[in-house]
Amino acid sequence: MLNDEHTTSRNTAMASVNRASAAPADILLDMPACLRTSLPRSNGPLLSMKVIGGFELWLDDMRVENLPRGKTRSLLKLLLLRRHGPLSRTRLCNLYWPEADAGSARNSLHVTLHRVRRALDPAGVIVHQDEGYQFLPNGPVWIDSEQFLQRSDMGALLDARGKHVEAIAHYEASLVLHGLDQIDEDSQDAALSGLAQQLRDRHNQVLQRLAELHEAAGDLHACLRTALRHLSLDACNEAAHGRLMRCYAALGQPQLAERQYRTCVRVLRETLGVAPQEVTTRLYRLLTSREVSAADIHANGATARPAWHALHPSP
């Protein structure tokens, strides 16, 4: 079982984002002080953008209705996500109108930028300089994908320092921001597919690491919850199947451990046409042999720091 310090730290961190699905003005109030003070001081409106699992745009506590679609929506997202530097006209033309001649592509870009400007007014302006186009906000900007990456980065940093209780709290908070995995429109958008893949990969990494830490801390129910969510994202993940098997056995439910192994066998066969790895089969045989104690099953300890600990989210 988790100790009091572990539980208190997790609850404190989770309380700071327990309303992350509410209006962005409420989200801002729930941010930790370090995030609130990092936002630029300005009299302009708070611009909030949701891109994970669906697209929403807010100005302060007012949701923007009748949002643009197609290339206009994509360009709006791209300018906000890459607002820290200019995007060259040539790059934008090649990205959105690769088959058009240079003149037609420039005209299409100008028309699309006009629509984006109307959608973003009065949150900021799009300036054109020699280096390209850049969105300059009049106030603070809050984007859920950036917060998710920053939270998971902080978790990884604490994790690498051996502060596993605090790391768990940040990983859990990042998952509140991410919500459930959903197929979104950006996956098929050439301009945004890279970010969509980065978010999917990071989501997968956070779930795997969080499940490891929960198991090492002896919080088997939290480990079960996290591993099940991991499998909803990647049904063929053998590590998650194995973790569920160990947790079920440690909780005195060997029949569920056996059922999980059979599920793993079936999913791998139907999806990939392969059998489980030998390590998974050995684990199954060990758990069903009844010759190992519950304490030994999950006493594997926390593994090394996550592989992405040195990565930083792109602006």
Q: Each residue of 178-236: pLDDT tens digit?
A: 865 555 666 667 888 888 889 999 999 999 999 999 999 999 999 999 999 999 989 99
Helices and strands: H and E segment counts in the chain: 14, 6
* pLDDT value of residue 143: 93
Note the CATH number of domain 144-298. 1.25.40.10
In the numeric block, which tokens belong to residue 280? 């998974």
* Residue 12: count of CB within 10 angstroms of its CB: 13
Secondary structure in 3-state letters for 195-227: HHHHHHHHHHHHHHHHHHHHHHHCCHHHHHHHH
Q: Identify the pLDDT of residue 38.
A: 47
Q: What is the pLDDT of residue 295?
A: 54
Per residue in 54-95, pLDDT (tens digit) is 889 998 888 888 888 999 999 999 999 999 999 999 999 999
Domains in the chain: boundaries = 44-139, 144-298
pTM for this model (two decimals):
0.77
Query: For residues 95 and 286, what is the distance between their CA atoms, to the nearest angstrom?
Result: 54
* Burial environment of residue 147 by CB neighbours within 10 A (0 to 12, 13 to 18, 19 or more): buried
Count Cα atoms within 13 angstroms, Cβ side, for 20: 26
Q: How confident is the model at residue 297 (pLDDT cuts 50, 70, 90)?
A: low
- What does the pLDDT look like over 140-176, one tens digit per residue? 999 999 999 999 999 999 999 999 999 999 999 999 8
DSSP E strand stretches across the chain: 47-50, 56-59, 62-63, 124-129, 132-137, 141-143
CATH class of domain segment(s) 44-139: mainly alpha
Q: How far apart are CA 182 and CA 176, in angstroms?
A: 14
